[in-house]
Chain A
């Protein structure tokens, strides 16, 4: 099946029962498949009037007790930003899948891009942390969508799946394990007396238990800066308490959240780091480089946000260069540059969008760096 369909199946396997969305190439297939699959499992699919409404509706759906998601691409992702911020601030579990196309603006609707990576990180106003995963195959669209739901339920925030047009539209074999082998995570329900319930007071896990509408807790949920009780509190102290917590719950758990795969790192002098479809081009280039006798390794990022800071900081002391191919003019590579702090060379392999980066382009860059650093 294609990546978009696999995303839908992953969502259903994770327990998604509410989807609100708006058609947009190249993410439409997620919504289309949801529209006939959700009613089969007593879920609700609704096509909203725009992406602003879609994002608002899945936040509502989540507070109604349903695991909720939407899918979109660039222009729709832009429209969702304000309510993604509401989801962050109100700590609402949900999943947003962005099947990236090339921008800016309407850009290349049918062609690939990876240029929304910083928007995923910083697109809504204010300071916060997010979780974003980047699948590079239909199988990972399935697996990572389940993981996205699990992370969103555990850490109470919108989790993004930063896919791309090629991964969304490519057809590959997808193995769907039996239901009893799929691990799913559910939000923690409060156990306190409703009169004593503090909806934003973290428990021992660092995350606040979440009551759903109808559970009898009569909680207040607001996008205003709020205290543990959920009440608007217009002070710098309350702001510090809330923002520290929103950021801390991700940063403090970064080790548990972050996932990446590595190849040939033991003796690598040059390492290519990549995500999404570009990770597959990178793998081809690294394998070819090894065949040519070059000591090159690969880091495939599964989690793109939070970024594996400690890992790359350490790696930059061991290698001559870090290369990052991505279908934008240099976004995630900024993180590498920041973390390397000049300890090793950081090379950008950019592409403005509309096509994937060929393995041969990456191999050529690898060879150039070996030549330069001889």
Chain B
């Protein structure tokens, strides 16, 4: 008791101003990678020059979906899979806002997969941060669209017969303007990537491979958090600019990480205003937006 009384007052955490400290302790398990990503997200927000009032965080359902509940900004914890369409409405109604979607792989790319591909196609100006832990953690470790072929989950006890998505390849194919993948070990890279994505106009996607020892690791002989982290450390290979199709996750050999896409394309709202101001002429004798952009660049 006396030792406790003599203790210094609780030190402030550097991110306290961005945390709903009255909601701590959080629900994440020890060894989970979401906290690392959450810290990187807060660092990126702090480093950006964007006023905090203009930033919103939207999540779906799942472990990562709880990020919205801990950040002391305008934050929305929506239905399973629907963070992106909710964020679409939020962004279109308040274009000056900077809208970040933070959710898990199952939420964003299984139940929410259709919204993901269409938001990327339309180039809605969102930053999508996807924590990929290779399974459904919140419900106890079931098969996800990211679960590696052959990996065990509670609904694939003999190993998954499914082929997983390459999320980065999918995002790029759908038209995302910024695509990067890192692991939860690459804290500075993750922070930089989220910051770049926030400043990028258009649909930006940052995937972070994260350890989930509690639900995924323990069924796949990587029971300790360090097992998964070491596994990522040993196998990840940085390959900036590689075509996202080539940025494969081959768990037997190497996990390709890096910034794969960083390109320009008009956002949905740019195009919306261009079309309604009748600046493009009549289809099909219109200049494609890529030509228009190239021209603008040359003129600039």
Contact = CB atoms under 8 A, between A and B. Distances in A.
Interface string B46-68: 00000011101010000000001
Interface of B: 20, 22-23, 52-54, 56, 58, 68-69, 72-79, 82, 85-94, 96-97, 114-115, 118, 268-269, 272, 276
9 contacts: A44-B269, A49-B115, A60-B58, A60-B76, A60-B90, A66-B94, A213-B97, A215-B53, A219-B75
A60 B69 contact: no
Interface string A53-76: 110111111111110100000000
B115 A53 contact: yes
Contacts of B82: 52-53, 56, 83, 86
Contacts of B115: 49, 53, 56
Contact of A218 (B73, B91, B118): B73
Interface residues of A, number: 43
Contact of A214 (B53, B58, B68, B92): B53
Interface stretch (A145-153, A185-193, A220-228, A259-267): A220-228
Nearest to A86: B79
Chain B, interface SS category:
helix
Interface string A1-43: 0000000000000000110100000000000000000010000
A49 B118 contact: yes
Nearest to A66: B93
Given A52-B82, A64-B92, 19 more contacts: A52-B85, A53-B88, A56-B115, A57-B86, A58-B89, A59-B89, A60-B89, A60-B92, A60-B93, A62-B93, A64-B89, A68-B89, A214-B96, A214-B97, A220-B20, A221-B77, A222-B76, A231-B69, A232-B69
B24 to A, nearest CB: 12
B85 A60 contact: yes
B78 A48 contact: no
A370 interface: no
A358 B53 CA distance: 58
B86 to A, nearest CB: 4
A221 B78 CA distance: 8
Given A60-B90, A68-B89, A83-B79, A39 B276 contact: yes
Nearest to A52: B82
Given A39-B276, A60-B86, A213-B56, A224 B77 contact: yes
B54 A214 contact: yes
Given A56-B85, A221-B77, A65 B93 contact: yes
A188 B54 CA distance: 21
A213 B57 CA distance: 10
A46 interface: yes
B296 to A, nearest CB: 23
Contacts of A57: 85-86, 88-89, 92
B76 A63 contact: yes
B266 to A, nearest CB: 15
Nearest to B94: A64
* A46, A60, A66, A86 interface centre (most CB from chain B within 10 Å): A60
B111 to A, nearest CB: 10
Interface in A83-124: 83, 85-86
A221 B71 CA distance: 12
B164 to A, nearest CB: 23
Interface string A309-322: 00000000000000
A148 B75 CA distance: 27
Given A213-B97, A222-B77, A49 B114 contact: yes
Contacts of A58: 89
Contact of A217 (B68, B74, B79, B92): B74
B272 A44 contact: yes
A212 interface: yes
Contacts of A20: 85, 88-89
